[in-house]
């Protein structure tokens, strides 16, 4: 008998590695944080002597979901400024709240709430853009969550940095140490948007990104107004400014990309750019509906993101999968557009590709990191089961996630957190709520 | 001290009776199946001696949600034929499955699964259109669920009836006895659609509906193709055929109504027609996006429906509220279109109006039936709480419903069913799954 740390015996397994493959009565073995075997359950039980055996007879095992775009700390602003026109939402709701409240302490507490929510819903890796990224990274490491921490770059002063130079310096510090080769955290640069960046800053960013071999993510073509304003102020579409800055390449993650003309889609596809599609946020802010069916046909890699909880209001990739698939059908006027299987791929392996992590995570394959989620299909709302993947995308709610492993660590065990002090998370969340709700300074 | 059957002490209460009203630390007293008082908690505890005291300190009490359109028994087909173009979905998926499997027994077992799912998610009343409506009504009564059971009328033979005359006869029988004045079940007529009805049958239906004072519901303008085919075959839009049939009045519930021109909206508004908006189903079948912001501006009553689980795939009004609000913002290109408060109204009092039950249910008011849902806001995904209604619509999942009362009966108590044998429901569901999945006759 061969030892392994953990042997998982789910009823079904969707490895994602091979399109459409659904395994029944298979086992997944984990040792030293990695997947060491995927094989029929009977063979596994004959071969392995596991330290921990996890039997899940009504469950489907999937790769941990990957949230390709969020602002984790903003969970503390969830529901603070809803149903406002976009300009009022920013100018009267979110920006004043950020100016008043964002601090290292707020980012720590908000990120912890976000990580707990994401883990509870089967997300094992998130890509974050927010101030105090060093705090986000610390929270991820302390809670044993995988993260791409993208350091923000804007031209204006915030509590975190005074000017573009200081943003660059802080970003460079974070990339170098201590996350140069970290088992959980990778770093990236996040120029906020083309309207927040001068040509000079873009030039400096490109040099740094090339030197340090760091990926870049940016909000792009989220609204029609963004494009109009760029044309008015610079004579160029935001897309063109990125081209001119030399940033359109395989390392680029374009967030939102709601409004794209055919030429831009083709150019992105040729360059190997990834898209972080955030359908619920795009609806809630009335930004528009991205034509992801077209993007995928053109060969673009489309990942899914929740965006921040101020514009969603959930950090829930089951909801994003469902909305992405349903909305794509309406947009394409074709009920067969974006199948359940494609939506699940977007939330897993496409997310890994968008973060440059596809060799490590995003599918259940021997040798990959053991980032896994096990989903209970025995609820009333997910019975009967004819098609496991259809249930995952169209019928499952995030609370049906029973188990989560991050790098082999069993973070959620049959619905219970094993290592995370949720009482503390709730207590700190409530302290912030009292402070934020009672000032009366916003809204 | 005054006796009452039940005294509920939630942290918050959203009565719906007055727009925007959110009560804190109030109590709701129930006796003999009706709400007998809504008053501050301290006063309630001084005044009432309840048989049962239900304290819910992290919860919000709302009216039970009203599902204005479903085909309950089709839960047994959930996920059977997804991601197909509409024509293939009908001709190769759903219709063959219905011809092969629909029977009194299937309708009973499927409806029980649906009722359990709906109650679990805070739905206390549903409007159903399906074959064997007498079985649907029996299941609702046996499970103590409120229902409007609409008897189908089509021109073709099914297992339930041979021709229009037999549909009419069976419909009339159901209306007369035993549901003429039933505490839980009301009846209605459900001509399937204009394409399923001849002018003669419409004429007969109108006479019957007037004689018996029964409301009518019909699938209308669900797809652009439906309108085109009607124009080709009859020279009239489906709307015009309904006008000619004399059915456009306050008793009409138009289901879907995705494609409506301005003149039709105005005519419906003048006539007092209600709409059953089913946003997730409309997306999934690529039917289009109804402009409900415009409908409501014009004065139409817009209720929410899940449609059947073969085209959704959930019977979940939290999901419908969220999708309705988000989608309306995209459709109207305005992030302030359909607020959370409006979405909650659509799922409660507007639903009651659509079924002609607004004097009995749909809001928390003294004298109304005690159809209530209590929602736990203490989950990670619904913290912090700044705006209770925003949380309900944008952040809550249906599993957060802790308690449900139907006509004062405590059906779900802190997440546990009190009267429903879910083991039996699951067992029968699984038997159907085995039969349906293994024939290989469909798909």
B231, two tokens = 């124009």
Residues A87 and A215 in one domain: yes
Residues B221 and B156 in one domain: yes
Residues A185 and A235 in one domain: yes
Helix (H, G, I), strand (E, B) or coil at A211: helix
String of DSSP letters for B77-130? GTTSS-S--HHHIIIIIIHHHHHHH-SHHHHHHHHHHHHHHHHHTTEEEEEEE-
Residues A297 and A180 in one domain: yes
| Residue in B380, B402, B426 to test binding to A, most A beta-carbons within 10 Å | B380
Indicate whether B349 pLDDT > 70.
Answer: yes
Higher-pLDDT residue of B141 and A175 is: B141
Is B386 in CB contact (< 8 Å) with chain A? yes
* Cα separations in angstroms, B8 against B4, B36, B44, B51: 11, 12, 10, 11
B351-380 pLDDT, tens digit each: 999 999 999 999 999 999 999 999 999 999
Residues A49 and A72 in one domain: no
Residues B106 and B215 in one domain: yes
Indicate whether B440 pLDDT > 60.
Answer: no
Contact criterion met (CB < 8 Å) for B394 and A312: yes
B45-93 pLDDT, tens digit each: 999 999 999 999 999 999 999 999 999 999 999 999 999 987 888 888 8
Q: Distance from B396 to chain A by nearest Cα, in Å?
A: 9
Structure confidence at residue B158 (pLDDT): 87
Indicate whether A158 pLDDT > 90.
Answer: no
Does residue A130 lie within any of the structural domains?
A: yes
Is A439 in CB contact (< 8 Å) with chain B? no
Contact criterion met (CB < 8 Å) for B286 and A430: no
Residue percentage of chain A with pLDDT more than 70? 99
Q: Which among A108-117, A165-174, B429-438 has the top mean pLDDT?
A: A108-117
Structure confidence at residue A229 (pLDDT): 96
Number of domains in chain A: 2
Indicate whether A443 pLDDT > 50.
Answer: no
What pLDDT band is residue B176 in, cutting at 50, 70 and 90?
Answer: confident
The ipTM, to two decimals, is 0.97
Q: Which of A354, A388, A419 is the last residue of a domain?
A: A354
Does residue B379 lie within any of the structural domains?
A: yes
CATH code at B184? 3.20.20.140
Query: Domain range for residue B176?
Result: 65-354
Residues A107 and A159 in one domain: yes
Phi, psi of B440 (to 5 degrees): 70, 10
What pLDDT band is residue B443 in, cutting at 50, 70 and 90?
Answer: very low
Does residue B366 lie within any of the structural domains?
A: no
Does residue A46 lie within any of the structural domains?
A: yes
Q: What is the mean pLDDT of residues B142-160?
A: 93
Give dist(CA A31, CA A278) in Å, integer. Answer: 34
The torsion of the CA quartet B229, B231, B233, B234, rounded to 10 degrees, works out to 140
User: Does pTM surpass 0.90?
Assistant: yes
Residues A215 and A304 in one domain: yes
Structure confidence at residue A439 (pLDDT): 62
Does residue B32 lie within any of the structural domains?
A: yes
**What are the chain A neighbours of B425 within 8 Å (beta carbons)?**
380
Query: In the 8-state DSSP scheme, what is residue A193?
Result: B
Is B95 in CB contact (< 8 Å) with chain A? no
Q: What is the mean pLDDT of residues A91-109?
A: 93
């Amino acid at each position: 008998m061969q030892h392994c740390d953990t042997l998982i015996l789910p009823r079904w397994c969707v490895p994602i590695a091979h399109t459409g493959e659904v395994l029944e009565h298979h086992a997944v073995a984990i040792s030293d944080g990695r997947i060491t075997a995927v094989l029929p359950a009977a063979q596994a039980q004959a071969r392995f002597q596991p330290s921990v055996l996890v039997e899940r007879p009504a469950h489907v095992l999937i790769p941990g979901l990957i949230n390709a775009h969020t602002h984790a700390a903003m969970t503390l602003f969830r529901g603070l400024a809803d149903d406002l026109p976009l300009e009022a939402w920013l100018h009267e709701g979110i920006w004043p709240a950020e100016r008043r409240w964002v601090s290292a302490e707020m980012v720590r507490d908000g990120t912890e709430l976000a990580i707990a929510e994401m883990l509870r819903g089967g997300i094992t890796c998130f890509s974050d853009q927010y101030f105090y990224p060093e705090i986000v990274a610390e929270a991820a490491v302390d809670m044993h969550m995988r993260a791409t921490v993208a350091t923000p770059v804007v031209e204006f002063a915030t509590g975190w940095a005074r000017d573009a130079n200081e943003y660059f310096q802080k970003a460079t510090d974070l990339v170098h140490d201590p996350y140069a080769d970290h088992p959980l955290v990778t770093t990236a640069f996040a120029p906020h948007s083309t309207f927040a960046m001068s040509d000079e800053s873009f030039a400096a960013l490109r040099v740094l990104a090339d030197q340090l071999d760091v990926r870049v993510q940016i909000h792009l073509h989220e609204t029609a107004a963004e494009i109009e304003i760029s044309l008015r102020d610079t004579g160029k579409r935001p897309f063109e400014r990125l081209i001119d800055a030399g940033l359109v390449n395989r390392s680029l993650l374009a967030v939102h990309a709601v409004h794209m003309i055919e030429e831009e889609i083709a150019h992105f596809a040729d360059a190997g750019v990834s898209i972080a599609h955030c359908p619920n946020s795009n609806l809630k802010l009335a930004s528009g509906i991205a034509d992801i069916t077209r993007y995928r046909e053109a060969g673009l890699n489309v990942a899914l993101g929740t965006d921040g909880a101020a514009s969603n209001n959930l950090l829930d990739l089951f909801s994003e999968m469902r909305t992405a698939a349903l909305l794509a059908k309406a947009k394409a006027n074709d009920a067969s557009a974006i199948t359940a299987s494609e939506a699940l791929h977007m939330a897993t392996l496409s997310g890994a590709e968008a973060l440059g992590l596809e060799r490590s995570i995003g599918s259940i394959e021997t040798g990959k990191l053991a980032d896994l989620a096990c989903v209970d299909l025995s609820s009333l709302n997910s019975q009967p089961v004819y098609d496991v993947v259809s249930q995952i995308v169209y019928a499952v709610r995030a609370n049906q996630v029973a188990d989560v492993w991050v790098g082999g660590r069993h973070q959620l065990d049959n619905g219970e957190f094993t290592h995370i002090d949720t009482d503390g998370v709730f207590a700190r969340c409530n302290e912030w709520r009292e402070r934020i709700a009672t000032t009366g300074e916003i809204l």
